[in-house]
């Protein structure tokens, strides 16, 4: 009896520490879960205030929109450096003309106008002699047939020549550039003219010497000569028509045919003279354009021709970093090919060049680069 009571008392005493230990463990777990919840809440609050992180990108976001034009400064410097290289490669025995498709087309058209004026003037001078001989002979049977045949068969050729000449300046030729904009070609050509002006005969586009009065005066003199022949021809046609009115029978019919053919030639010449628009200026006047391009052709005659194509791009990279702030890096790339031809088209030189400017970092807060960048020489 005594032994059983002792055993129950001993078990009760040993159970008390175990229950206390279990309570401590439960309390520790509760505290740990509370600390974890608090930490998660604090972390969530911090993340909500910070920009979202990305595992794919390097620190800092890349953006070129804010400073897109700044890279063109590096492209400008790169173009000037390349112009010096091209100048060094140009032939030493003659000055070089820069090839421009529109200018070349204008020179060809101007030569066509000049040739047409001279050709029509010579043709009218010859016709004046023939029609005068026809009038003086008073239509003898042998003279009528020969002169009439010439007068009638030459008309289509004159009409075609006038029509072809009037359409010479309708050709649409443009020169394009890439990436830098329409000014890339003009920039590079001007840089070459700056680097070696004594070795450049002509720049192709832009001002071609239209203010030079000498070439325009020469072309106007040829046109006045044509107009004089035209006036003489018109007077002889009027005289022939009077003779035809007074004639009878076959003679009257033959004279009327010769006068009609001569009148067709006169209309073709009038249409040609009208198409030149000698009284106007600028692009509306083929005569003024012809004088402009003929003058340029005369100054560049016999010069080697430089043909080139240039891709010029500027690159601006802005790096925005949460802790270090904003940084700007500038670079540029140029892809250039060029060829030098003799005037007859034979190749004298061909080269391909690529250049990439070393990236330059600009501190937006101050003096990361020297004055040489901000004020280009």
Task: Assess whether pLDDT exceeds 50 at residue 159.
Answer: no
Contact (CB, 8 A) for 293 and 110: yes
Average pLDDT over residues 315-327: 68
Per-residue pLDDT for 306 more than 50?
A: yes
Q: Name the pLDDT band for 97 (thresholds 50, 70, 90).
A: very high
> What mean pLDDT do residues 2-26 have?
60
CB 286 within 8 Å of CB 275: yes
pLDDT tens digit sequence for 247-257: 888 888 888 88
Residue 322 pLDDT more than 90? no
* Max Cα-Cα span within the chain: 180
The average pLDDT across 64-77 equals 72
pLDDT top residue among 309 and 63:
309
Q: Give the phi and the psi of residue 175 in degrees, each rounded to 5.
A: -115, 130
> Which of 181, 224, 187 has the alpha carbon at shortest distance from 80?
187
Higher pLDDT, 172 or 302: 302
What is the pLDDT, as a whole number, of residue 96? 95
DSSP letters for 17-44? HHHHHHHHHHHHHHHHHHHHHHHHHHHH
Average pLDDT over residues 306-319: 85
pLDDT in tens, 363-376: 766 655 555 554 44
Model confidence at 191, in pLDDT bands (50, 70, 90)?
very high
Query: Averaged over 139-149, what is the pLDDT?
Result: 44
What is the distance between the alpha carbons of residues 377 and 363, in angstroms, rounded to a whole number? 21
Does 147 have pLDDT greater than 50? no
Average pLDDT over residues 224-236: 90
Q: What is the mean pLDDT of residues 167-178?
A: 44
């Amino acid at each position: 009896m005594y032994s059983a009571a002792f055993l129950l008392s001993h078990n009760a005493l040993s159970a008390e520490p175990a229950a206390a230990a279990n309570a401590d463990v439960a309390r520790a777990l509760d505290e740990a879960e509370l600390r974890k919840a608090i930490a998660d809440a604090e972390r969530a609050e911090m993340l909500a205030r910070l920009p979202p992180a990305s595992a794919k990108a390097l620190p800092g976001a890349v953006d070129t929109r804010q400073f897109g034009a700044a890279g063109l400064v590096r492209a400008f410097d790169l173009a000037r450096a390349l112009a010096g290289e091209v100048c060094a490669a140009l032939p030493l025995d003659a000055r070089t003309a820069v090839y421009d498709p529109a200018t070349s087309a204008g020179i060809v058209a101007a030569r066509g106008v000049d040739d047409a004026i001279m050709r029509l003037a010579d043709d009218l001078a010859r016709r004046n002699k023939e029609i005068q001989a026809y009038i003086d002979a008073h239509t003898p049977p042998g003279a009528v047939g020969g002169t009439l045949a010439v007068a009638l068969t030459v008309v289509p050729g004159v009409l075609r020549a006038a029509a072809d000449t009037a359409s010479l300046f309708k050709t649409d030729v443009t020169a394009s550039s890439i990436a830098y904009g329409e000014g890339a070609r003009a920039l590079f050509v001007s840089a070459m003219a700056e680097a070696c002006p004594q070795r450049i005969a002509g720049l192709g586009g832009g001002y071609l010497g239209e203010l030079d009065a000498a070439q325009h005066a020469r072309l106007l003199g040829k046109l006045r000569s044509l107009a004089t022949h035209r006036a003489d021809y018109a007077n002889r046609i009027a005289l022939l028509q009077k003779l035809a009115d007074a004639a009878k029978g076959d003679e009257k019919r033959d004279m009327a045919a010769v006068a009609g053919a001569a009148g067709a030639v006169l209309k073709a010449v009038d249409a040609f003279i009208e198409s030149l628009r000698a009284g106007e200026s600028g692009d509306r006047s083929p005569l003024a354009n012809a004088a402009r391009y003929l003058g340029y052709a005369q100054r560049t005659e016999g010069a080697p021709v430089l043909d080139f194509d240039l891709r010029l791009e500027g690159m601006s990279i802005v790096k925005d970093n949460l802790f270090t702030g904003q940084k700007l890096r500038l670079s540029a790339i140029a892809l250039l090919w060029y060829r030098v031809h003799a005037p007859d088209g034979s190749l004298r030189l061909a080269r391909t060049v690529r250049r990439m400017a070393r990236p330059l970092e600009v501190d937006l807060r101050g003096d990361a680069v020297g004055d040489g960048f901000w004020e280009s020489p």
